Amino acid sequence: MKPIRTGKLRVERLTIPFAKLPQRLHGLKIVQLSDLHYTNGQLSDRLLNQAIDIVNRNAPDIIVLTGDFIHDVPEPIDTLIPFLKRLHARHGIYAILGNHDIYFPKARHYVTRALARIGICVLWNQVVYPAGDGLALVGLADLWSGEFDPAPIFRDLDPDVPRIVLSHNPDTAETLRRWRCDLILSGHTHGGQLVLPFLGPLPKYLDFFRWIIPKPLYPYLPLLGKGNYVTQHWEWASGMFRLGRNRLYVNRGLGSYFPGRFGCPPEVTEFVAIAQPNAPQYGFD
Ligand SMILES: [Fe+2]
């Protein structure tokens, strides 16, 4: 199958101030990739290699992969693994799974095992400290898995410890407002894929499209056909958002649904953590 048209890869760079981040972690570099959908040409090998080269060139301390490695059946992960094996980060590579990684009953464990074989740690309602105890990395189960369960993790976390939270679906940011989440990293929306100047992501106008597009065409327009099923918050389709005292960043992803992308380039995101004693205190605990 011919690769989908996506436009040029774009690197987004953001500096994130953290309250109570130890000085030794000042300048820590975290790179995020999301939504590879490595199935049937939804992500070309060329774009994938380009993204991996950019990640490695940035010499990240931590790499985070925020789900949807595959699209449906799990076997394409075996072809994706040799590409991912090229990724390098000083403190390791951490992943969460997206809704597409768990559609098929055996997919969750198949994908987890394949990633583990090359040293990528898949988090499922777990917390790790890749750079030491001064910064927690929380990885949550996908919202639609029925196992999304942040409460026990946040109950046990030291409220003074800054944390980055990996959560595939940005809708979870609403629930996560109950806890301190200095930075939530999501994907899932693909930025809406079709983004018009002034209008923004087209799926925002789903009700209108449903009114004018005949239903038989829905299977060919997945983001439109699934409608609000994809997200309740198209206003958070991509970029940085403030939710109370928490921050949410939504990555546009690398892979794409048919018919491809317009005005919504695939993305590699680099975050630099800044220790800022007077940064706002986060959390509602
Ligand atoms: Fe996705």
Other CB atoms closer than 10 Å to residue 15's CB: what's the count?
Answer: 11
pLDDT tens-digit map of 11-33:
999 999 999 999 999 999 999 99
What parts of the chain have a pLDDT lower than 70?
1-3, 207-211, 219-229, 280-285
Residue 232 lies in a domain: no
DSSP state of 219: G
Distances from the Cα of 190 to the Cα of 66, 87, 181, 257, angstroms:
12, 22, 22, 9
Residue 26 confidence (pLDDT)? 97
Does residue 95 belong to any structural domain of this protein?
A: yes
Residue 206 inside a domain? The answer is: no
pTM comes to 0.92
CA–centroid distance, 37 to ligand 1, in Å, is: 6
How many angstroms does the Cα of residue 27 sit away from the middle of ligand 1?
A: 29
Beta strands in the chain (DSSP E): 10-18, 29-33, 62-66, 93-96, 120-122, 126-128, 136-139, 163-166, 183-186, 195-196, 200-201, 239-243, 246-250, 267-275
* Residue 223 domain flag: no
Q: What is the CATH number of the domain that holds 86?
A: 3.60.21.10
pLDDT score of 188: 96
| Predicted local distance difference test score (pLDDT) of residue 3 | 60
Q: For residue 85, what are the CA distances in angstroms to 48, 78, 102, 126, 156? A: 12, 11, 22, 23, 33
The predicted structure's pLDDT at residue 283: 47
Quick check: 29 and 272 in contact, CB under 8 A? yes
Spacing, Cα 203 to ligand 1 middle (Å): 14
Is the bond into 266 cis (omega within 30 degrees of 0)?
no
Cα 59 to middle of ligand 1, angstroms: 26
137 burial level (CB within 10 Å; 0-12, 13-18, 19+): buried
Q: Identify the pLDDT of residue 204.
A: 80
Ligand 1 centroid from CA 189, angstroms: 6
The one-letter amino acid code at 164 reads I
Percent of the chain with pLDDT over 90: 75
The strand pairing partners of 185, in sequence order, are: 166, 249
Residue 207 domain flag: no
Q: Is residue 85 part of a domain?
A: yes
Give the structural domain span for 20. Answer: 12-201+239-275
- Ion ligand 1: residue ranges with CB closer than 5 A: 35, 68
Quote the ligand 1 centre to 197 CA distance (angstroms).
Answer: 23
pLDDT for the residue 280: 66
Q: State residue 2's pLDDT score.
A: 59
User: What integer pLDDT is reported at residue 284 of this predicted model?
Assistant: 43
How far, in Å, is the centroid of ligand 1 from the Cα of 216? Answer: 23
CB neighbour list of residue 82: distance below 8 Å, 6 or more residues apart: none
Number of domains in the chain: 1
Task: Tell me the CA–centroid distance for residue 275 and ligand 1, in Å.
Answer: 32
**50 falls within a domain:** yes
Per-residue model confidence (pLDDT) at position 258? 84
Task: Tell me phi and psi for residue 241, to 5 degrees.
Answer: -135, 150
